[in-house]
Structure 1
């Protein structure tokens, strides 16, 4: 790719340049999942096709929940991989649990208009992050098997709404029958 020009103009018969993520690999239904941990690394790799203009630089970014954008790396335009060491994330803006859209774009930015021979911004890869929780054994005093099912509700709380619904249904039926008869 070193012999490609850094600027050129091509006709509409030339396809746009495309980057395809090779890693991490996602299935059709599940995004790659990573633990939010200082020891965790995420390895990205990609390949180019139809590229006729060499990018001056590449930016790899992650757009997360609430549109929080993390610039993962600014790299040379020839780069085809990068290892994101999560310990490099600024503690002031930590990663949140959720899905992150990975963006790869050249010096023209993430919203650049696709041009023949130039790299089209790529944002088709989604990864997910989670924060592990510590194990709580069943013998813990906070364990409540019936809390999930709301078994501790009082009789009034349980049957009150049902009684109101049944009463309204009876009243409506009575008024309907009265209207039919008279």
Structure 2
């Protein structure tokens, strides 16, 4: 066999090997080696945590207060190469990265088979230059390497935008002496809860009991 024939044979073998490898890794490679039925539905995300409820979940911005988001991916023929997770706030128009480590490189970009992410907004606010979180409603968004709002395509993951949740800052402690008032209490209860009024009421109660004891003798 000539050197030219040997070269052609080696090239053919390499091409066959590459083709076989591409078929075995079809779910994580390009669509050129994947057979997607024409009737295939676009892939989607179903969030499992927090559970789907009628009202939004409430999360506080506090040290060691972690939020967990979990999901499943369905109807996929093509596994995403990566997933980006963000929290969008319509109140201030900002989009916040979601991830466990705010100082990492690409901290809110994960492997394409990721199904859970934990997040602590408090840690993110400690990073210089980070935009403070608004006490408002947020929408969880998850999308693949094609970007947010990419065109729906059979077998590929569709961008997800759902799971409304709210972030708030817990109020600091304030005593009655410093001016704390119960916003949900009645005026009568609020009056009785004042230290001076409470002392008068206690004295009156003790006096009544004493008189009652004397009258019973």
Common fold by TM > 0.5: yes
Gaps (5+ residues) in structure 2? 1-24, 99-107, 188-217
Does structure 1 retain, via aligned residues, the 8 Å contact 2:61–2:122? no
Moved over 3 A (4+): 9-12, 135-145
Structure 1 segment 6-25 matched on structure 2, within 5 A: 6-8=29-31, 10=36, 12-25=38-51
1:132 matches 2:170: yes
Q: Please state whether the residue corresponding to 1:109 is helix, strand or coil.
A: coil
Structure with greater Cα Rg: 2
Alignment of 1:1-182 (within 5 A): 4-8=27-31, 10=36, 12-28=38-54, 30-64=55-89, 65-72=91-98, 73-91=108-126, 92-141=130-179
**Structure 2 vs 1, CA of residues 82 and 14 (structure 1 numbering), >3 Å: closer, same or farther?**
same
Aligned-pair CA distance for 1:125: 0.9
Q: Which digits, 9 at most, give the CA deviation of each residue in 1:37-91, with x for residues without a partner?
A: 1211111110011011110100010001222101111100011111113343143
Larger RCO, structure (CA 8 Å, separation 6 or more): 1
- Report the more deviating stretch, 31-40 or 81-90: 81-90
CA contact (8 A) 1:26 1:32 kept: no
Find the aligned partners of 2:179 and 2:93 in 1 and give their Cα distance: 39
Structure-1 separation of matches of 2:96 and 2:112: 19
Larger strand fraction of residues: 1
Structure 1: state its 5+ residue gaps: 150-182
Q: What is the CA distance between 1:7 and its match in structure 2?
A: 2.5
Q: Secondary structure at the match of 1:79?
A: coil
1:93 Cα deviation (Å)?
Answer: 1.3
Aligned length: 144
What does the per-residue CA deviation read over 1:77-130, in whole Å, with 9 as the maximum and x for residues that have no partner? 011111113343143312110111000000011110111000000111111101
Distance in 2 (CA, whole Å) between partners of 1:90 and 1:135 is: 22
Against the structure 1 CA distance between its residues 103 and 142, is the aligned structure 2 distance closer, same or farther, given a 3 Å change threshold?
closer
